[in-house]
Amino acid sequence: MPVDKSGERVREMFGQIAPRYDFLNHLLSLGVDHWWRRTAVRRAPPAPDRPILDICTGTADLALAYWRAGRGTAPVVGADFCRPMLQRAKEKCRRLRAHGVRLVEADAMALPFPADLFQIVCVAFGLRNIQDPQRALEEMVRVCRPGGWVVILEFSMPRPSLLRTIYSWYFRWVLPRIGQAAAPNRFEAYHYLPASVGEFPPQQYWTQRMEAVGLTGVSAQPLSFGIASLYLGQKSGQDSERSETPLFSG
Ligand SMILES: C[S@@+](CC[C@H](N)C(=O)[O-])C[C@H]1O[C@@H](n2cnc3c(N)ncnc32)[C@H](O)[C@@H]1O
């Protein structure tokens, strides 16, 4: 049965698990997710002063990784359509004194930003949750500056067959039980995760789509034997040294 990814359901599901999201995320990945985000930032490092956008920001971990890498000189915007997740993100940014991170309630399929604004537009473990990921990809490219980078981190199926078997078993039997026990929710969100990963298409699917929306130099790098993959693509065109468009009008 296809996974129900209607915006309302996904928003409500993340709203229910928001209070335990960080704890479970780091527990279930054994902390490796931090390293995946740091690898993404290292592969597409920020330049000073120019803004960065993290869509499906959740509790802002990738936004914060970029803010740290830019040493606070590059403004970072984290956008998500789930208020309870944004609330956690705000508390975390306040606690870390990450005042350069702005958090915005926005749907990834209709971003409230002008074209050609951000030097980097990134997403971690968000694309597979979006109802129309192709539309979100087009939006990422639209708001990215010419010469800027689109950065995608996603789960994928590991290549080695033994690891694939262990991984499938862990995802199907262990992870949903720990998830449901630690963050009870009526959507059984941690059953949804393996189902949504299982239906997630192979690496070429994303690299082809990234090329189809005009990105160049598209690459896919398996991380941790392919448990996750990092995709990079550059928006073609020359970056103009025009004056900065304000991030938010009004
Ligand atoms: C698995 S979490 C990932 C959070 C974070 N990026 C991370 O790395 O931990 C997915 C996030 O995507 C958000 N999301 C899903 N569909 C969305 C959409 N159409 N627009 C904006 N946010 C969306 C959810 O609210 C949730 O916070």
CATH number at residue 162: 3.40.50.150
State in Å: Cα 162 to ligand 1 middle.
30
Can you give the pLDDT at residue 2? 55
Query: Token digits for 119?
Result: 């030097």
Pocket of ligand 1 (CB under 6 A): 7, 10-11, 14, 25, 56-58, 61-62, 80-82, 85, 107-109, 124-126, 129-130
* pLDDT given at position 156: 84
Task: Indicate whether 249 belongs to any domain.
Answer: no
Percent of the chain with pLDDT strictly greater than 70: 85
Domain membership of residue 245 (yes or no) is: no
Band of residue 242 on the pLDDT scale cut at 50, 70, 90: very low
pTM exceeds 0.85 for this model: yes
Quick one: CA dihedral 24, 29, 32, 34, positive or negative?
Answer: negative
H/E run at residue 123:
strand 118-124
Output the CA 139–ligand 1 centroid distance in Å.
15
Atom of ligand 1 nearest to the CA of 131: 19
Q: What angle do CA 103, 58, 2 make, to 5 degrees?
A: 135
Is 248 part of any domain?
no
pLDDT in tens, 79-114: 999 999 999 999 999 999 999 999 999 999 999 999
pLDDT reported for residue 248: 52
Q: How does the average pLDDT of the chain come out, rounded? A: 86
Please give the number of the atom of ligand 1 that sits closest to the Cα of 25.
9
Asked if the structure places residue 87 within a domain, the reply is yes
Evaluate whether 66 touches 41 at the Cβ level (below 8 Å). yes
Q: Is 53 inside any structural domain? A: yes
Q: Give domain status of residue 250, yes or no.
A: no
Range of the domain at 175: 7-235
Question: How many domains in the chain?
Answer: 1
Backbone angles phi, psi at 66, to 5 degrees: -70, -40
Question: Ligand 1 pocket: which of 82, 193, 223 to mutate (most atoms <8 Å of CB)?
Answer: 82
pLDDT band at 178 (very low <50, low <70, confident <90, very high): confident
- Establish if 241 belongs to a structural domain: no
- Would residue 242 count as lying in a domain? no
Q: Is 192 exposed, middle or buried (0-12, 13-18, 19+ CB in 10 A)?
A: buried
Which is nearest to 27 in space by CA: 177, 215, 216, 191? Answer: 177
Q: Is 70 helix (H, G, I), strand (E, B) or coil?
A: coil
Mean pLDDT, rounded, for 149-168: 84
* Closest atom of ligand 1 relative to the 107 alpha carbon: 20
Q: What is the DSSP letter of 138?
A: H
Q: What is the mean pLDDT of residues 7-18?
A: 88
Q: Return the higher-pLDDT residue of 237 and 136.
A: 136
